[in-house]
Amino acid sequence: MIEATGMTLDLLGELGLKAFLKTSGGRGMHVVVPVDRRQSWDCINEFARGVTGRLAAEAPERIVAKMGPKNRVGKIFVDYLRNQRGASTVAAYSVRARPGLPVSVPISRNELEQIAGADQWNIQNLHERLQKQPDDPWSDYASTRQTISARLRKLLNASS
């Protein structure tokens, strides 16, 4: 999961996009790329699917682009389906209705390699993280403006 998240961040960085990370409070990581509101659902879904396809093409031994447990035995599915109309995701700092009450927590890229799991913070230990965290890893989220342009989509698909 950490390796796939890092690969996703590297690809988005190559494309010139800034991404924000948060734990899911479950088993995975969420990579959030803020884009301007002019982008259509279809455009964003196509782009996200292209990112997954490119990662699977570059590392077929580790990443798959097709959902389903049979397809991902020993591999990671980078879930682009969170980017379609009606899909939901847990908000940052939400408590999950799971054993131990894990919490979805924003993290910085520098923290990615150090986390023990996407469910490591819960309602019992989140206060410790918040006390130790000097800066908000998402402090410039609201001011980040990005567009998924035709040129960017072409660049993504050129190497897949």
Find the CATH number of the domain harbouring 81: 3.90.920.10
For the segment 137-154, what is each residue's pLDDT rounded down to a tens digit? Answer: 999 999 998 999 888 888
Separation between Cα atoms, residue 106 and residue 136, nearest integer Å: 8
Query: What is the total count of domains within the chain?
Result: 1
Separation between Cα atoms, residue 6 and residue 77, nearest integer Å: 14
For the segment 104-138, what is each residue's pLDDT rounded down to a tens digit? Answer: 999 999 999 999 999 999 999 999 999 998 789 99
Q: Can you give the pLDDT at residue 9?
A: 97
pLDDT tier for residue 158 given thresholds of 50, 70 and 90: low
Q: How far is CA 125 from CA 102, 103, 105, 121, 129, in A?
A: 9, 10, 12, 6, 7
Structural domain boundaries enclosing 77: 2-158
Nearest one of 5, 3, 153, 155 to 79, comparing CA atoms: 5
Q: Does pLDDT of 159 surpass 80? A: no
Residues 6 or more apart in contact with residue 113 via CB below 8 angstroms: 2, 6
27: tokens are 């088993």
Tell me the one-letter amino acid at 135. Answer: D
